[in-house]
Structure 1
Amino acid sequence: MDASTGAGGPLNLHVSEDGLYAAHVSGKGLIVHSNAASEHKEVQIARIKETGLKFLKYSRPQTAPGALNNEDLSRRRLLSANDTRISVWQLNPLEIFAEIESVEPGALAVEFGADESEVLVFHSWNTKLSIYSLETGRCSVIKSPKLAHHLGFGYRPKTKQLAILLKPETSDLLTVHEPRSYDLLNRTVLPTIDAQGLKWSPDGKWIAVWDIASAGTKVVIFTADGQLFRTYSGPSGVDDSFDLGVKQIEWSPANPQIGVSETLAVGKVNGNIDLLRARTFSSATTLSHIFPADQQAPTIWRERYVNADGDAEYAEASSSSALSMSPESAGSPRGVLAMAFSPDGLLLATVDTMRQNVVWIWSLEGTPKLASALVHEQHVRQIVWHPSTPQLLINTITNTLPAIRWWSSQDHPVIARVPVERSESGKYDVRWEGSDADSAFWFGSTEEYVIGYLSAGDCGVEFELLNSY
């Protein structure tokens, strides 16, 4: 919901990463909604100068969900950009803060940088990255960025050093830059064939880079200043002759007691997930997307229709029954499609490409084990943890009745209809409204969005509408 649209495409409602703001463009008007989950929602309108907008992006919150205050909110900004001009808007109140003109046409991406005072422009053909400081007016340039999206660069948590993948010639490079000045701290030629991305650990201690799957399992770990620390090539004692490589990686959140990210999950093309200890970066265990034969093992829930209108519910099922109801996707390449840690890092939700209708939920307390699985009629589009409590929203692709699926370790999972118009594409988006521990969330399509929450009523759990857009 916070993505750019293609040239000439309509800009629909764009919801900020934390769900606190929603914006859209109507004619020459920029319309921004805030306080969306309240009866006293606010709407601000300003006139935009750009035509043919391609990008509408929010600055990222600088504090954790639930810890926001008025000072944090006053710093939030929004940028709007077309091929040659960028406007940066202050959100509270809505007014122009800065303008960047005469931008080289054909930008691949426009983003905020380390905070709301920097703007990144990835130029066409990945020739360079321009970093504009809104405080000093200075423009820093980094040549030959490899990827013009979030997997190609990242800012260190708290201290904001930039790590970025470059491809100036034949070899991949990792460079680390000082905050603000972007002076070079370190430059390393990577031992990769074709690096696919990098991710900082949430505690800011490590940078992980993973190689293309055809290279086999290869995850390269660097210290925060760009020094090579370890290369992970798969579990020891395992025949690697059939190693199909890495699909994606994900760090666990920093443990709040000790401030350390303890686990790196490596999602493989063979559908397995290697869990690495963040001290040694050796494999602690491997998770496999195969239903356990033990009928007493985890609780398996299967979606079933309860009436001709298409309403559905979860019913408990045996693992063998669930397996028979979830055929493998014909022709799909194997691999881990999605991985998401709960905010406390104790649960991991995953989706495998061979059975895209199943959400697997793993408990990582003690010995990792499968805690539950949810089997659906359609493919899963999103799995989204609440930012501070272990609640999971599951969004499937369906062109029947719009509905949300909700799971918690403490309660029976539920499916609730959502009052939006049915989308022919079946592609809805969900996002938590993460200002505090409340459980309001956004749900919508390109045509319509609503914000609300789930509540227990006389007819079971229902979606309570707060506002619609």
Structure 2
Amino acid sequence: MSRGCPTTTPATDSMSGGIVTTSISLADDGEYAALLNGKDLTVHLNPTASGFKEVQIVKVKEAGCRFLKISRPRFDVSYAHDSTIQDTSSRRLLCASDSRILVWNLEQLEQQVEIENIEPGALNIDFGADENEVIFFHAWNTKLTIFGLDNGRSHVIKNPKFSHYNGFGYRPQTGQLAILLKPDANDTLTIHESRSYELIGREVLSTVDAQGLKWSPDGRWIAIWDAASTGTKVLIFTADGQFFRSYTGLPESDGALDLGVRGIEWSPAAAHGSRSEILAVGKVDGTVDLLRSKTFTCLATLSHIFQIEQHSPCIWRERYAVGGMSLEYTESSSSSSFTTIPDTSTTLRGVSMMGFSHNGALLSTVDQTRPNIVWIWDLADTPLLISALVHEHAVRHVVWHHSNTQLLITTANGALPTVRNWSPHRPPYIVRVPVSRNESGRFDVRWLSSDGSESSRFWFGTPDDYVLGYIDPEEHGTARFQCFNTLTGQVAPGSHGAFMSR
């Protein structure tokens, strides 16, 4: 355990000694954190700075906040040649209960909007296309209401099929909304103009039970995948909702044996104006079809069956180090490392995780047949397996860095809070992180987007206990976690926050 990160404990009420309900929200880019403790709301800015800024606690009107969200960064259009430059002046914080929605300016923590008398039982409340919109999915998915915070207007879309983020999405850069609806027995795709939400396009789908949609990062395409029971079926639409093409698997495949699609993932648009070159289609049978985005034909199929080939990938096996109090990777050259660890937490089969590196050159996958293994593929020229990381427990998260080629991995090991770090340029590390144990092993991990160095900073923790730090390589192939700050529900009497720095 590294110096500077105190051991954390649950928050307690100093008067009654009882447990206080706490909630922590991290911005998607990791740049901001908010902690709600009862009615006390604390916001933290620039957590990596030695003299980090901390906003004083404000009081929310009632306990029981169900949704605590931080708006996503807006990219400054005046720097169109560099999409990594963020406009941080307009970030906002949302706290919503069953009766009202409160929105603050993040920098000054000034309340800007209050929406009262909302319908109880909301399925999802979040920011919309930007910080000037709030989306509200009503109970039973009867309708979606979009509140315009800057103009006081609201728009209603009836019968959304899902309230989660596979059911709708905003077009990158321009903000048009694509959403799946279920007005009757048929799935329907509608496209709505940014801000006004006027209808641009409407298409009744040929799906039996559409499972989700995803915009391509370049904003050119919308992909929708059907239920696995229908076999392989992915529909491609243009940005205005016009049907373009469908993918139903390889021509030579036996339809009777086709188990269908589990999920899809687009490769990134590596630079401004570039295209998303590949659509990865993860199948229930454990394979991944890689489609070219120009023609949406299959260029290769990846199989999660280890085979001894002329090119042998680097296999790293997790094991307990001497003493049994820490974990380490050891290199293995045998296919016997690919043991099967049943995942009792889910009955789903197939490829459960896929993720591209920042430049689209590498792809990581996890197949539920062996949920403890992360497979890493090189997609240059002929796709090739270059590495596999085999763990003692099922994998929970695989997160690529936003600007360099490394990834973080967490597993369901609740006894040892650890993070695994892989890079193609050195052996992988397993590092103990000083947070409280989590019996389910459901640790969250995310990179800090402003950090592009090799020793990049990241958050690690649970909804009530986070640390921010980086991995510091040491001699003899070992590494340790260096802590910057800890965010926890523990609030001392009279204090004005829960951020602890070394």
Bin the TM-score by the shorter chain.
over 0.9
2:461 to 444, 448, 454: 444
Question: Judging changes above 3 Å, is the alpha-carbon distance between structure 1 residues 154 and 446 closer, same or farther for their aligned structure 2 residues?
Answer: closer
Do structure 1's residue 18 and structure 2's residue 29 form an aligned pair?
A: yes
Give the Å deviation of 1:51: 2.7
- Is the Cα–Cα contact under 8 Å of residues 326 and 355 in structure 1 kept in the other structure? yes
CA distance in 1, matches of 2:253, 2:161: 33
Aligned in 2, Cα 1:356/1:160: closer, same or farther, shift over 3 Å? same
Instruction: Read off the aligned partner of 1:32 and give its amino acid letter.
Output: V
1:431 aligns with 2:442: no
Paired residues of 2:20 and 2:37 also in contact (CA < 8 A): no
Q: Percent identity?
A: 54
CA contact under 8 A between 1:221 and 1:231: conserved in structure 2?
yes
Aligned to 1:391, which of 393, 406, 410?
406
User: How many angstroms does 1:332 deviate by?
Assistant: 4.5
For residue 328 of structure 1, report the CA deviation from its aligned partner. 5.4
Output the CA distance in 2 between the equivalents of 1:456 and 1:335: 35
Tell me whether 1:55 sits opposite 2:84 in the alignment.
no
- The structure 2 residue matched to 1:335, chosen from 343, 346, 350, is 350
Q: How many angstroms apart in 2 are the aligned matches of 1:319 and 1:336?
A: 23
| Residue 294 of structure 2 corresponds to residue 282 of structure 1 | no
Give structure 2 stretches of 5+ with no counterpart.
Answer: 1-18, 77-81, 488-502
**What secondary structure, in the 3-state scheme, does the structure 1 residue paired with 2:436 have?**
coil
The corresponding residue for 2:262 is 247
Q: Report the 3-state secondary structure (helix = DSSP H, G, I; strand = E; otherwise coil) of the residue aligned with 1:356.
A: coil
Alpha-carbon offset, residue 215 of structure 1: 0.7
Give yes or no for contact 2:287–2:302 (8 Å, CA) kept in 1: yes
Partners of 1:76 and 1:90 within 8 A in 2: yes
CA–CA separation in structure 2 for the residues paired with 1:353 and 1:86: 39
What does residue range 1-400 of structure 1 map to in structure 2 within 5 Å?
A: 10-44=21-55, 45-63=57-75, 67-69=84-86, 72-256=87-271, 259-294=274-309, 296-323=311-338, 325-327=339-341, 329=343, 332-400=347-415
Cα deviation, residue 195, structure 1: 0.5
Q: Distance in 1 between matches of 2:284 and 2:271?
A: 32
- Cα deviations by residue, 1:60-115 (Å, 9 ceiling, x for unpaired): 1123998345xx11111111001120011110011111111111111111011110
- Conserved? CA contact 2:316–2:332, under 8 Å: yes
Q: State how far apart, in whole Å, the 2-side matches of 1:164 and 1:211 are.
A: 15
Distance 2:176 2:436 in 1: 44
Q: C-alpha distance in 2, partners of 1:50/1:185?
A: 40
SS of match in other structure, 1:203: coil
Q: Where does structure 1 differ by over 6 angstroms across 4 or more consecutive aligned residues? A: none
Contact 1:205 1:223 in 2 (8 A): yes
SS in structure 1 of the partner of residue 431 of structure 2: strand
What is the TM-score with the length of structure 1 in the denominator? 0.94
Secondary structure of the residue aligned to 2:331 is strand
Query: Against the structure 1 CA distance between its residues 164 and 446, is the aligned structure 2 distance closer, same or farther, given a 3 Å change threshold?
Result: closer
Contact 1:50-1:81 at 8 Å conserved across structures: no
In structure 1, distance between residues paired with 2:22 and 2:167: 25
Aligned pair in 2 of structure 1 residues 298, 220: CA closer, same or farther (>3 Å)? same
Partners of 2:157 and 2:266 in 1: CA distance: 27
- The TM-score normalised by the length of structure 2 is 0.88
In the aligned structure 2, how far is the partner of 1:151 from the partner of 1:432? 22
Greater mean deviation of Cα atoms: 214-223 or 25-34: 25-34
Are 1:388 and 1:437, in contact at CA under 8 Å, matched by a contact in 2? yes
Report how many residues are paired: 459
The alignment partner of 1:338 has SS state of strand
Cα distance between partner residues in 1 of 2:463 and 2:94? 20
Stretch of structure 1 that moved more, 126-135 or 54-63: 54-63
Whether the 8 Å contact between 1:303 and 1:377 is mirrored in structure 2 is yes
How many angstroms apart in 2 are the aligned matches of 1:344 and 1:67? Answer: 14
Whole-angstrom CA distance in 2 between matches of 1:328 and 1:48: 44
Deviation at 1:240, TM superposition (A): 1.8
Q: 1:387-420: CA deviations, max 9, x gaps?
A: 1111100111112221110000111111111122
Q: 1:238 to 1:425 in 2, by over 3 A?
A: closer
* In 1, Cα distance between equivalents of 2:341 and 2:196: 54
